[in-house]
Structure 1
Amino acid sequence: MSEFIPRSARHGRRRRRDRNEAWEWVQALAIAIVLAMVIRYFVFEPFSVSGPSMLSTLHDGDLVIVNKLIYQFRAPEKGEIVVFHATSKKDYIKRVIALPGQVVSAQNNIVRVDGRSIDEPYVDEGNRTADFGPVEVPPGHIFVMGDNRMNSSDSREFGPVSMDQVVGRADVIFWPLSDFSFLW
């Protein structure tokens, strides 16, 4: 035998189901927003390249993803591209040339770390490096330089960068899509 359910009771169940479904969507959206914020502020951050100092690796207007977590687990390595706070209002992006305790210098267009010339395939031929140094990198610091040596404000000008100022490692060029590539 079938049970008679008044029309008003059927509508009440549907409304409760609709309200529960809407509440689930609100919860899912809130969780997604919180996760996006956590990832953005603690793990990965987009960074816009400004200026020609990293040509031809990075171009003015390129957008890169910066891995903010990596240096919580290990120190930077030579050759990595890092973003750091140059001033309280401006971040720079440069390449790590020397690590704490190393001595860096340049003479006759050759960069040397601990007296040995370093291979720099990322520097365009004909792009000169002015003589400087020697500079000993203090503990807790790194020595950084732009790939476009003739047009870069870097550690040659403002000295080694404290690890406290380092935001993270640039991992991927994601815009423009035609330039998409990994930087490590």
Structure 2
Amino acid sequence: MSVDINNRYGLNPAHSEVIEACNAIKPCKALDMGCSNGRNALYLSQLGFDVTAVDNNPDAINMLRQIASEENLDNIDARIYDINDAKLTDEYGLIACTVTLMFVNPANVDEVIKNMQSHTQPGGYNLIVCAMDTTEYPCPVPFPFTFQTGQLRSAYEEWELLKYNEDVGTMHNGATLQFATMLARKPAE
């Protein structure tokens, strides 16, 4: 599926947590926050999701637009957007934010998460994967932001946590660090 498209354009495969989440989430209106060149957006679009893909890098957005055009994918809307602004306007059934929050200004992270939560439809999902910096596993990469133990969980205490862990993992560049990984469902109103 997207592996072929992603390979064709030199992109990494979709994030493993996005692939896993799609086993439980039916196609809906989705937001890929910090989409880069679109590896997750392409995967979601091919599963039938109506994808808005945002990133503050115009070159990445232009590349994703080009790929979507060449592949005749009319269910990807790629937009330039600075996540730090925390000004989403639409409602989504899924907001995926994988390995993105660590590049957000630390002063804005709480507001970004609140903005994601308020723009998730009742019964919708947030998927977050973000680096951590803990005493046991100091982060070897100087990201602007990293979660502390339990910090992501506490931000979603009102939601149903379908998956939550703070496991050690490896980045694509080989760096070993701890990640907060969460798939949460917003309560249906």
The TM-score, its normalising length taken from structure 1, stands at 0.23
Tell which structure's C-alpha radius of gyration is larger.
Answer: 1
